[in-house]
């Protein structure tokens, strides 16, 4: 039987939201809002698109599929947050143990007959047991989720024609299927509507037009922009297609670049484009993983002064701190209208903690002798410059679509 479009969510562990508690007394524990931290940690420890295909007794088919799927899901999560070579050498625990690590799962789609089951799942794992497993095997890992990354795929055919918008962009669909929304680097693709196409052209994207890139990033709530060009060469006599890949990430702190090439039978162009997306995603995630690797068995601590101007600011800072997954404990030492003093412990070193805080628009500075000052950063979202598109500009939005009948890209 088939269940088209089905999407079930099964909770394996009921977990209530912690209430925010505001304490003004000295030496009191500080309970941070748990929703943001849990949402971020959950995203990092989530495996989507897990495909299973099992045969056997109809009475146990789905159970078999779940056991196989959760094992594949755990492998995918470990590969996202830890070095690949270390993950490959690990011996995973039993199915019963892995089941106890599953917070919940979704059946995205499934088809079943009397002896055959095919399904696709999403598994969300609890962070603590996964961290403890890696720590017991002396494997460092990363869990800081960056802000959203806007991906702009551009396909350049063998005649040199570059396309960002419209059906001629053969790279958009593979990226739409591959771009992870729950990982160390959540990614989003533009819908390709009139506003998008009149804000930025392929030529401007390839030239690194920061104001226009920034305007598009702001529209999609992204902090950084990744421009990916896949360029096709003329097919050779042996019918081999070669695609060159060039990616540039325009970030708040720096601009980084990646290049690669894939080749194969010209009849498998779709697979080659998917490979190019996989390799680029691996590069993006690898950069974040390498700079944020922590050892779960080691913790650091700081005493932090938090200057305040209002109660609302204190509430906002508490919420932002609640979104830092590497933060292990917080103790409120004192609280006045102008200053909060906190004692915190966290995974990793101070620079890593600073990067984790920056993803929540918090800045940690004046770090001296285990003491520091925490401040809110002005604004949130992208760090790229943004400017309004002048109405007199030929690229300004108009009522006429730049690409007629352009389909939206699946997200």
pLDDT at 322: 85
Residue 225 has pLDDT above 90, yes or no: yes
Q: Looking at the structure, do residues 212 and 284 belong to the same domain, yes or no?
A: yes
pLDDT of residue 41 exceeding 60, the answer is no
Could you tell me if 304 and 363 lie in one domain?
yes
Q: Does 182 have pLDDT greater than 80?
A: no
Q: At 334, is the pLDDT very low, low, confident or very high (cuts 50, 70, 90)?
A: very high
pLDDT > 70? residue 111: yes
Residue 331: name the closest of 316, 320, 346 by CA: 346
Least confident of 9-23, 106-120, 224-238, 296-310: 9-23
List the domain range (segments joined by +) for residue 367.
299-376
Model pLDDT, residue 401? 35
157 falls within a domain:
yes
Whether residue 319 sits in one domain with residue 282? no
328 pLDDT above the threshold of 70: yes
% of the chain surpassing 90 pLDDT: 51
Q: CB–CB of 110/119 below 8 Å?
A: yes
Q: Has residue 396 been placed in a domain?
A: no
pLDDT band, very low/low/confident/very high, at 372 (cuts 50, 70, 90): very high
Return the SS3 of 383: coil
pLDDT at 347: 85
pLDDT at 27: 44
CATH number of the domain at 182, please. 3.40.50
Is pLDDT above 80 for 389?
no
In a domain, 390, yes or no: no
Tokens 């490959």 belong to residue: 88
Arithmetic mean of pLDDT, 375-395: 56
DSSP output for 105-144: EEEEEEEE-SSEEEEEEEEEE-HHHHHHHHHHTT--B--P
Taking the C-alpha atoms of residue 245 and residue 171, their distance in angstroms, rounded to an integer, is 11
CA separation for the pair 57, 60 (Å, rounded): 6
Which neighbouring-strand residues pair with 110? 3, 119
What's the rounded mean pLDDT across residues 72-81? Answer: 92
pLDDT at 17 over 70: no
pLDDT at residue number 379 = 54
Select from 291, 318, 347 the last residue of a domain: 291
Is 253 in the same domain as 361? no
Each residue of 237-283: pLDDT tens digit? 788 999 999 999 998 878 999 999 999 998 899 999 999 999 999 99
The reply to whether 329 falls in a domain is yes
Average pLDDT for residues 107-124, to the nearest whole number?
90
* The pair of three-digit structure tokens given for residue 391, joined into one six-digit string: 């109405």
The pLDDT of residue 69 is 95
Last residue of a domain, one of 86, 108, 136: 136
* Domain count of the fold of the chain: 3
Domain boundary among 85, 114, 136: 136
In this predicted structure, the answer to whether residue 343 has a pLDDT above a threshold of 80 is yes
Give per-residue pLDDT as tens, 25-40.
Answer: 334 456 555 444 444 4
Residue 185 domain flag:
yes
Same domain, 238 and 119: no
In a domain, residue 355? The reply is yes
User: Could you give phi then psi for residue 76, rounded to 5 degrees?
Assistant: -65, -45
For residues 254 and 309, membership in a common domain is answered with no
Same domain flag for 269 and 206: yes
Q: Given pLDDT bands bounded at 50, 70 and 90, which one contains residue 385? A: low
Crossing angle for the helix pair 34-44 and 61-81, nearest 10 degrees? Answer: 100
Instruction: Answer with the residue of higher pLDDT: 384 or 304.
Output: 304
Confidence of residue 130 (pLDDT cuts 50, 70, 90): very high
In the prediction, which pLDDT does 144 show? 79
pLDDT of residue 360: 87
Is 39 a member of any domain?
A: no
* 227 plus 322 within the same structural domain: no
pTM (whole model) above 0.85:
no
What one-character-per-residue DSSP string does 161-205 give?
-EESSSTT-TTHHHHHHH--SSSSS-EE-----HHHHHH--HHHH
* Domain identity same for 58 and 94: yes
Residue 191 lies in a domain: yes
Tell me: pLDDT of 24 over 60: no
pLDDT value for 33? 52
Q: Are residues 357 and 240 in the same domain?
A: no
Distances (CA, A) of 207 to 165, 197, 204, 223: 16, 16, 5, 19
pLDDT of 35 reads 44
Per-residue pLDDT of 200-214, as tens digits, reads 999 999 999 999 999
Clarify whether residues 218 and 305 are in a common domain. no
């Amino acid at each position: 039987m088939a269940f088209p479009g089905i999407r079930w969510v099964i909770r394996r562990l009921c977990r209530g939201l912690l209430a925010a508690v505001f304490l003004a007394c000295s030496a009191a524990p500080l309970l941070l809002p748990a929703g943001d931290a849990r949402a971020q940690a959950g995203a990092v420890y989530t495996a989507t698109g897990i495909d299973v295909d099992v045969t056997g007794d109809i009475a146990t088919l789905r159970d078999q599929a779940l056991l196989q799927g959760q094992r594949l899901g755990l492998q995918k999560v470990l590969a996202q947050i830890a070095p690949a070579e270390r993950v490959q050498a690990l011996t995973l625990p039993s199915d019963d143990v892995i089941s106890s690590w599953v917070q919940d799962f979704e059946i995205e789609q499934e088809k079943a007959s009397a002896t055959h089951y095919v399904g696709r799942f999403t598994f969300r794992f609890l962070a603590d047991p996964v961290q403890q497993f890696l720590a017991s095997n002396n494997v460092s890992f990363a869990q800081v989720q960056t802000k959203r990354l806007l991906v702009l795929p551009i396909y350049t055919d063998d005649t040199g024609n570059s396309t960002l918008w419209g059906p001629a962009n053969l790279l958009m669909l593979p990226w739409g299927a591959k771009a992870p929304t729950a990982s160390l680097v959540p990614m989003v693709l533009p819908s390709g509507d009139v506003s998008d196409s009149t804000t930025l052209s392929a030529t401007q994207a390839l030239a690194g037009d920061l104001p226009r890139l920034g305007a598009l990033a702001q529209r999609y709530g992204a902090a950084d922009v990744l421009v990916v060009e896949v360029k096709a060469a003329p097919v050779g006599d042996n019918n081999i297609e070669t695609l060159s890949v060039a990616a540039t990430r325009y970030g708040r702190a720096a601009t980084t670049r990646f290049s690669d090439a894939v080749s194969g039978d010209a009849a498998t162009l779709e697979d080659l484009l998917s490979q190019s997306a996989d390799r680029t995603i691996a590069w993006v995630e690898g950069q974040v993983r390498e700079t944020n690797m922590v050892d779960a068995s080691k913790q650091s601590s700081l005493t932090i002064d938090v200057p305040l101007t209002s109660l609302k600011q204190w509430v906002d800072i508490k919420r932002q701190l609640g979104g830092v997954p590497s933060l292990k404990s917080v103790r409120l030492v004192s609280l006045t209208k102008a200053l909060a003093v906190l004692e915190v412990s966290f995974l990793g070193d101070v620079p890593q903690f600073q990067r984790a805080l920056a993803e929540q628009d918090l800045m940690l500075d004046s770090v001296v002798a285990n003491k520091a000052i925490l401040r809110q950063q002005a604004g949130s979202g992208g760090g790229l410059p943004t400017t309004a598109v002048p109405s007199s500009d030929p690229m300004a939005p108009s009522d006429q679509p730049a690409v007629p009948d352009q389909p939206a890209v699946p997200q």
